[in-house]
Amino acid sequence: MRLDAIEVGGKAFRFYSLRSLRGEGYDVDRLPYSIRVLVENVMRNLDGRSITEEHLERLLRWSPKAPSGEVAIKISRVVMQDYTGVPAVVDLATMRDIAVKMGMDPSVVNPRVPVDLIIDHSVQVDFWGSREALRKNLELEIQRNRERYRFLKWAQQAFKNLRVFPPGTGIIHQVNLEHLAKVVVADGDLAYFETLVGMDSHTTMINGLGVVGWGVGGVEAEAAMLGEPITIKVPRVVGVYLYGEPRPGVTSTDIVLAITETLRKVDVVDAFVEFYGEGVRRLSVPDRATVANMAPEYGSTMGLFPVDENTLSYLRATGRPEEHVALVRRYYESQGVFGGVEGAEYSQVVEFDLSAVDRNVAGPTLPWQRRPLSEVPASFALFLQERKKRTRKAVEIEIDGRRVQFGDGDVVIAAITSCTNTSNPYLLAAAGLVAKRAVELGIRPPPYVKTSFAPGSRAAAEMLERSGLQRYLDELGFHVVAYGCTTCIGNSGPLPPPVAKAIREHDIVAAAVLSGNRNFEGRVHPDVKAAYLASPPLVVAYALAGTVLRDLEREPLAYTPEGRPVYLRDLWPRPEEVNRVVEEGMDPSAYVEKYSKIGELVPEWSALEAPSGLLYRWRADDTYIQPSPLFEGEAGVSDILGARALLILGDNITTDHISPAGGISADNPAGQYLLSLGVKPAEFNTFGARRGNWQVMVRGAFSSKGYRNKIGNLEGGLTVKQPEGRVMSVFEAAEAYRKEGTPVIVIAGKNYGAGSSRDWAAKGPKLLGVKAVVAESFERIHRSNLAMVGILPIQLPPGVTVDSLRLDGTETFDILGISDGLAPGKEVTLRIRRRDGSAEEVRAKLAIYTWAEAEYIKHGGILPYVLKRILGAELKNR
């Protein structure tokens, strides 16, 4: 029997036992922890249709060196942030309209699993440097996003299983870690491993708590919300053996940047990564969460830690009921996985010595550019030389009544921000202690440094208030500006006017230092090209130094009013000091209290009026929310004939380049559209805020200035319409091709779609009419997203590159071998017809990994596929 039972606190629970499989001849003990969680999931959800014994067999016979096939699982819940969540809810509301048109009850369209939407991505740092900054930024956020927030308040009452956390609550992943996660789900008398997916790539932060979960595209998450299984390739599992103990003064940020660099070198793309070994016990859950959070940066699907005594301690510390903590222990012990899995086999083992890590940062443009502090000045000097072909330039500016020198390499943004590090009370305590010593020594950041602090939750901020450290951060300008994502996603707000003016008029190359997870060029702020990722205490230190051109390990970072040099060692706290602050400042009751008052903490949200009812009342004049067009169009697939390249791109095109992001300019096609509707430029807001209006988003797709189009060697956002040879925006060219009936494709180099899991990076090209993306390789989530909106991902064979194809944009393309059916990895022919009449053929393959993805493409995308399933089931039940 696969079902077994346990008793906890006088209550009996049934569970699907992994140990029972030994009696069926399976060596479960050799399987990695993550594979065992998948095994339990498949056992529990076997239905003989979408989840079968064959899926179970594939997992139980898992081959470390050559995993093969696909499996389907059903996840326990879904988490969303508002940037991705709004368009997902728009799709659900549109599906209800379609159901009504077909004479059905709209409530048949409803989430089948719990869904939590945390509004955290829309706040910007417009105000800083005062105690009023938090209130003012929140008021301005709600004012800017009133239409979106009204829609979300409607959705919360219209859909069952949907809970909305208001703006000002915290960051999605920290709320998930501190409050939402159960580790073990108790569904009536059935207990099972918690699993989840999130509409954000850094959902992996929950792996630090031992929960199997990862980021997916919005369309895939929507299907999961509606009860569809998620189909994945049977994964490679890379074991990372941690040993040693972190040196005093080395933070979890330093550790994760070193791990990121290490794992990027060994290629863990698409793999599950599991951390194990004696070193794991040396890391608290917040430290583990910091490491797990950056799994997208080292390329893996997950960065999973075991459930052990540290896990239970964290659950207690964050106010989880003792009876639930007891259930977690009992369940994990009964499944044979408490404390980790001894003797598991891995596809590859990487050893990592925690004691070998020094203080470091990453930059100036990539998360895996790890550098000891001593190498930071040289790294910026090289960056400056490559970009500007010159050495440092400086000018004199006046700011806050002071005249100061300001130049290349000076820090204009110092932000303690992001889910990566503000989840970690030890890092926040260290930052507070550095600030305390700086204040006591009388040193302050230069006036051109914009300082900000955006904690991931109100409970985390409470610790700094209780300990008295927040007042020292305030004195350095690190006032709380928001409880949400800010600088890390580009919501850094304006620079001080004299600084912005100097950068633009004198071509100054300034720098940002942030405790974030992404620092792609121009991401943090369009006027700030260099950015370094650092721990919160190092952010404070660089703010005090005011430049990245100083070696903080050896040179003074500042001078006291008396002229005495102050070194980093003078400010850096001892580990026992940090631990004491955390132990004294963290209170489980604070977590319970803050999360029990979700609706009371932001009165502006409570006062916001919203419509009611099962159907949303769309307004034609609403420039934020419009019904989704993704259910329109014909299903079926056929060969692509006579296509033109809308864009020809190089390597590492990120979803920041593809998906509309940041502010909307008046000269952008999206800005022109808003102007035509009477919206003033001051009211444009950001693309992220307008994700619920596809008319805005499709016009902004590929409009980033951060890449080059090889067609005409044009700056991002522009292309050449053929055969006329006219330069125009990508949107205008796509519309012209659509009117002619000419299919379009995108051709790209390696790692296409790197970066965040933005759904509009797939939806945008879909609505531009892109039929296929041909690339040398794809980022995991984006490749999946393309298939799920109905775009064919096609991978060039080894040795064939964008450059070796010698394309200039005048070619036409045929993609043959599709009409006779789709299959995972199927070979297709890319025929290139050149302007001189010659032609050549390349044998490529469909980057479709599962049969489910093939079905989605046949139906025009996963959303039409799921809607057809739901409505078909309703018709059968009548």
CATH code of residue 779: 3.20.19.10
Beta bridge partners of 362: 370, 533
Residue for token digits 């006329």?
Answer: 724
Residue for token digits 């952008």?
Answer: 668
H/E element holding 472? helix 470-475
- Under a CB-based contact definition with an 8 Å cutoff, are residues 226 and 112 in contact? yes
* Amino acid (one-letter) located at 16: Y
784 belongs to a structural domain: yes
* Amino acid (one-letter) located at 584: E
Q: pLDDT tens for residues 176-189?
A: 999 999 999 999 99
Instruction: Report residue 410 CA to chain centroid gap.
Output: 28
Beta bridge partners of 641: none
- Under a CB-based contact definition with an 8 Å cutoff, are residues 327 and 14 in contact? no
Same domain for 574 and 459: yes
Same domain for 801 and 852: yes
Q: pLDDT tens for residues 50-86?
A: 899 999 999 999 999 999 888 999 999 999 999 889 9
Domain termination residue (choose one: 542, 558, 586): 586
Distance CA 368, CA 308 (A): 29
78 belongs to a structural domain: no
DSSP-derived secondary structure letter, 106? G
Closest CA to 535 of 520, 522, 552, 556: 552
Distance CA 508, CA 510 (A): 6
Q: Supply the pLDDT for residue 1.
A: 60
HEC letters along 26-77: CCHHHCCHHHHHHHHHHHHHCCCCCCCHHHHHHHHCCCCCCCCCEEEECCCE
Same domain for 714 and 772: yes
Q: ω into residue 723 within 30 of 0, thus cis?
A: yes
- Under a CB-based contact definition with an 8 Å cutoff, are residues 457 and 169 in contact? yes
Same domain for 333 and 283: yes
How does 623-638 read in b/e, with b if 16+ C-beta sit within 10 Å?
A: bbbbbbebbeeeeebe
The angle, 0 to 180 degrees and rounded to 10, between the axes of the packed helices 575-585 and 458-467 is: 110
Distance CA 580, CA 117 (A): 34
Same domain for 402 and 341: no
**Which pair of tokens denotes residue 769?**
């009419």
695 belongs to a structural domain: no
**Which pair of tokens denotes residue 60?**
């139980």
- Residue ranges for the chain with pLDDT beneath 70: 1, 634, 756-757, 874-878
Distance CA 460, CA 256 (A): 21
Q: Supply the pLDDT for residue 579.
A: 94
pTM value is 0.89
Tell me the pairing of strands 558-559 and 718-721: unpaired
Q: Supply the pLDDT for residue 685.
A: 85
* Amino acid (one-letter) located at 301: T
Distance CA 594, CA 466 (A): 14
Residue for token digits 């409880």?
Answer: 483
Distance CA 471, CA 644 (A): 60
H/E element holding 138? helix 133-144
Phi and psi (nearest 5°) for 541?
-65, -45
213 belongs to a structural domain: no
Instruction: Report residue 547 CA to chain centroid gap.
Output: 29
Same domain for 842 and 770: yes
| Overall number of domains in the chain | 3
Q: What CATH number should be reported for the domain holding residue 364?
A: 3.30.499.10
Q: pLDDT tens for residues 446-471?
A: 999 999 999 998 888 889 999 999 99
Same domain for 431 and 338: no
Structural domain containing residue 27: 1-68+235-351
CA atoms within 13 Å, Cβ hemisphere of 578: 22
Distance CA 815, CA 807 (A): 16
The angle, 0 to 180 degrees and rounded to 10, between the axes of the packed helices 218-225 and 862-877 is: 10
Same domain for 833 and 760: yes
Closest CA to 531 of 761, 367, 740: 367
- Under a CB-based contact definition with an 8 Å cutoff, are residues 420 and 290 in contact? yes
How does 301-310 read in b/e, with b if 16+ C-beta sit within 10 Å?
A: bbbbbbbbeb
* Amino acid (one-letter) located at 623: T
Q: Supply the pLDDT for residue 370.
A: 94
DSSP-derived secondary structure letter, 573? P
Domain termination residue (choose one: 286, 318, 351): 351
Sheet of 348-353, strands arranged across: 302-304, 272-276, 237-243, 348-353
Residue for token digits 């045929």?
Answer: 814
Distance CA 736, CA 733 (A): 5
292 belongs to a structural domain: yes
Q: Alpha helix locations (H) across 681-759?
A: 694-700, 730-740
Same domain for 709 and 564: no
Find all residues with CB under 8 Å of 92, minimum gap 6, and list them.
Answer: 109, 111, 155, 159, 222, 225
**Which pair of tokens denotes residue 197?**
């997916």
- Under a CB-based contact definition with an 8 Å cutoff, are residues 203 and 175 in contact? no
Q: pLDDT tens for residues 105-154?
A: 999 999 999 999 999 998 999 999 999 999 999 999 999 899 999 999 99
HEC letters along 213-242: EEECCHHHHHHHHCCCCEEEECCCEEEEEE
Q: Which CA distances in Å does 35 have to 228, 234, 334, 770, 860?
A: 20, 9, 17, 36, 32
11 belongs to a structural domain: yes
Q: Supply the pLDDT for residue 618.
A: 95
Q: Which CA distances in Å does 701 have to 559, 742, 759?
A: 48, 19, 12
Domain termination residue (choose one: 296, 325, 351): 351
- Under a CB-based contact definition with an 8 Å cutoff, are residues 321 and 288 in contact? no
Judged by DSSP in three states, 614 sits in: coil
Q: Alpha helix locations (H) across 232-375?
A: 252-266, 285-293, 295-298, 309-317, 322-335
Q: What CATH number should be reported for the domain holding residue 277?
A: 3.40.1060.10
Q: ω into residue 372 within 30 of 0, thus cis?
A: no
CA atoms within 13 Å, Cβ hemisphere of 632: 8
Closest CA to 532 of 368, 299, 286: 368
Tell me the pairing of strands 726-729 and 530-533: unpaired
Sign of CA dihedral 753, 755, 759, 760: negative
**Which pair of tokens denotes residue 371?**
């550098």
- Under a CB-based contact definition with an 8 Å cutoff, are residues 243 and 353 in contact? yes
Same domain for 482 and 455: yes
Distance CA 461, CA 483 (A): 9
667 belongs to a structural domain: no
- Under a CB-based contact definition with an 8 Å cutoff, are residues 295 and 204 in contact? yes
Same domain for 369 and 324: no
CA atoms within 13 Å, Cβ hemisphere of 655: 27
- Under a CB-based contact definition with an 8 Å cutoff, are residues 87 and 626 in contact? no
Same domain for 447 and 324: no
748 belongs to a structural domain: yes
CA atoms within 13 Å, Cβ hemisphere of 48: 0
